[in-house]
Each structure stands twice: as C-alpha cells, then as structure tokens.
C-alpha cells in the first residue's frame, strides 16, 4: 500500500477543468510509480463559497500593499464551486477509482467558525491544514519574496510556528502540511527547534499527523519538514503521511522512496492516510 495524501488538480495560475478525465491522468502516473491511491486535496481558495465567506480577511494587515496583492491572488484563483468539486471526486470514488476526497485548508486566524461551517456539509476523507500567510504576507509565494528583506527571520519563524500551533489546536485539520515551508526560500534562523517544538506540541494536542512533503525537494532541496522535526514527531507518537503536493500529473508520487527513507531514519515503520477522517496505516516499504 502506498498513498499520495496531497494532490491538486489545478496548478497555480491555471484553471484546467476538474474532471474525471483529469483525475485519470493523475492515477495513470500514480500507477506507474507504484502509488495505490491518491487524496485529491484542492486549495480552499479555489472555491467561490470560500471566497464569499472569507472575503476581505487580508484587510486586517496594515500593509495595504500586501493586502492588495493577496486580494488579487484570491480573486484570480477562484475557479469553481466546492459542491461541483466534491461531486466530481465522489463520482470517481463511486466508479471504483482509488481516490479520496480532501481539501487543503488555509489557516486564517479568527476565522475558525467560518472554516468549520465551510467544511461541515461535505463528507471529507481528509482535511489538510496549511499556513501560507503571516498577516497578508505570502511566506512561500515568489511574488512576496521581496518582503523577506523587511523581516527578522527568527521572528518570522516564531510567528509561523505560533500560527501552526494555533491551527493544530483547533482540530480542524487531520494533517499539518509542509510543516516547515517557511524555509522554502532559504531564510533560516540559527535555531529551528522552537518551530519544531511548536508544531509537534500543537499536533500532539489533537493527534494531527505530520506530512512528509517531497515538493520540498523541488523547491529547496530538502523534504518538508527537516528531519529533526520528523524525529521529534516520532518521539511524540505522531503519525505521518507521504505527499507529493502535485499540481501536475507528472509529480504524483515524486521521490516517495526518499520520503520513506526520511521517515525510516527518524524511526517510523508505517505511514497513514485517511478515510472518512479516520486514520488508516500501512507499512513503509
């Protein structure tokens, strides 16, 4: 058994139709790479319902330049209805395709009630939780890269860690995705352990899994997260998932042999996936 727990049908900046045919493209690559099933986890901001419910959250940031950039990004990335997305994935499941229904949910402080209400109507298999923003600063977006020159790196990491802990403690997410994505552009403090501790302590409060995301190898030559964080998660008894964070079919199951080795070196013997928001496990190869 091998499951890719983080797959997107739409690349950033593009809006290909979310169809059974597109799902089949991902599954073809998955089969070639020995991946038995995929969790389709489209971004929250792709959906009209989320855009309407969360519109204007960026205005809480006093930097109106950053707020304006996020407003444009969210408007540009809306591509359809969450209800239609769910129907497409559920139809694929009903047809016997090895897919699970998921969502990648941005954590937005103060919006937990809205996020909970957004999630409620649908029978998700898994909800991924991510922190992409500190205020209106998109910490892992190339368009916001300039802002790193205006920030203290250690303080940015501390704030990111606090947001990750807050996300985990809500219990809204089953899995914490690309947990140290804040390292993406190479801005790293001398001591990364405060971030690792914040993430693991937050996850331990609700039993959230820690994602091993091979997109880090493409972005910064290191899996998300760094191995010391994986080792700390293992010591705390937290489960892990394997994920490609694919936005194109060609990336499904990318470097899963390396992810499995990363996990085994930290002491893990099994990985997990979710069905109906209940955790299932399988042995690492």
* 187 half-sphere exposure, CB direction, 13 A CA radius: 20
From 160, 255, 239, select the one nearest 206 (Cα to Cα).
239
State what percent of residues in the chain have pLDDT above 70: 100
Residue 22 pLDDT: 98
Which domains are assigned to the chain?
3-283 (3.20.20.140)
pTM greater than the 0.75 cutoff:
yes
pLDDT of residue 285: 83
**Each residue of 21-36: pLDDT tens digit?**
999 999 999 999 999 9
Instruction: Specify the pLDDT at position 193.
Output: 98
Summarised one tens digit per residue, pLDDT across range 85-110 is: 999 999 999 999 999 999 999 999 99
Q: What is the pLDDT of residues 128-140, one digit of tens each?
A: 999 999 999 999 9
* Helix or strand (DSSP H, E) at 40: strand 37-43
| Contact between 210 and 242 (Cβ < 8 Å) | no
Mean pLDDT of 61-80: 98
Over residues 175-192, the mean pLDDT reads 98
pLDDT for residue 62: 96
pLDDT at 215 over 90: yes
In order, the DSSP letters of 217-259 are HHHHSSPBSPHHHHHHHHHTT--EEEE--BSSGGGTTTTHHHH
Q: Does residue 46 contact residue 78 with C-beta atoms inside 8 Å?
A: yes
């Amino acid at each position: 058994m091998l499951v890719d727990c983080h797959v997107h049908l739409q690349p950033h900046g593009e809006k290909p139709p979310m169809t059974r045919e597109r799902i089949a493209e991902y599954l073809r690559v998955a089969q070639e790479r020995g991946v038995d099933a995929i969790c389709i986890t489209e971004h929250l901001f792709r959906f009209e319902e989320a855009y309407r419910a969360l519109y204007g959250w960026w205005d809480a940031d006093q930097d109106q330049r950053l707020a304006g950039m996020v407003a444009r990004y969210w408007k540009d990335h809306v591509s359809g209805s969450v209800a239609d997305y769910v129907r497409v994935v559920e139809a694929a499941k009903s047809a016997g395709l090895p897919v699970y229904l998921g969502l990648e949910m941005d954590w937005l402080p103060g919006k937990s009630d809205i996020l909970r209400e957004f999630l409620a109507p649908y029978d998700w298999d898994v909800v991924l939780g991510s922190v992409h923003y500190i205020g209106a600063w998109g910490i892992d977006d190339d368009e916001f890269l300039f802002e790193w020159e205006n920030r203290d790196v250690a303080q940015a990491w501390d704030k990111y860690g606090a947001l990750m802990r807050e996300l985990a403690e809500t219990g809204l997410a089953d899995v914490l995705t690309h947990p140290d994505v804040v390292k993406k552009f190479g801005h790293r403090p001398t001591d990364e352990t405060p971030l690792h501790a914040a993430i693991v302590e937050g996850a331990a409060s609700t039993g959230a899994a820690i994602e091993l995301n091979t997109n880090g190898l493409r972005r910064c030559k290191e899996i998300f997260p760094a191995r010391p964080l994986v080792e700390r998660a293992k010591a705390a008894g937290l489960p892990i998932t394997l994920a490609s964070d694919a936005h194109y079919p060609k990336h499904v199951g990318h470097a899963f042999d390396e992810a499995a080795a990363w996990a085994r070196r930290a002491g893990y013997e099994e990985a997990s996936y979710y069905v109906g928001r209940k955790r299932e496990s399988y042995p690492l190869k």
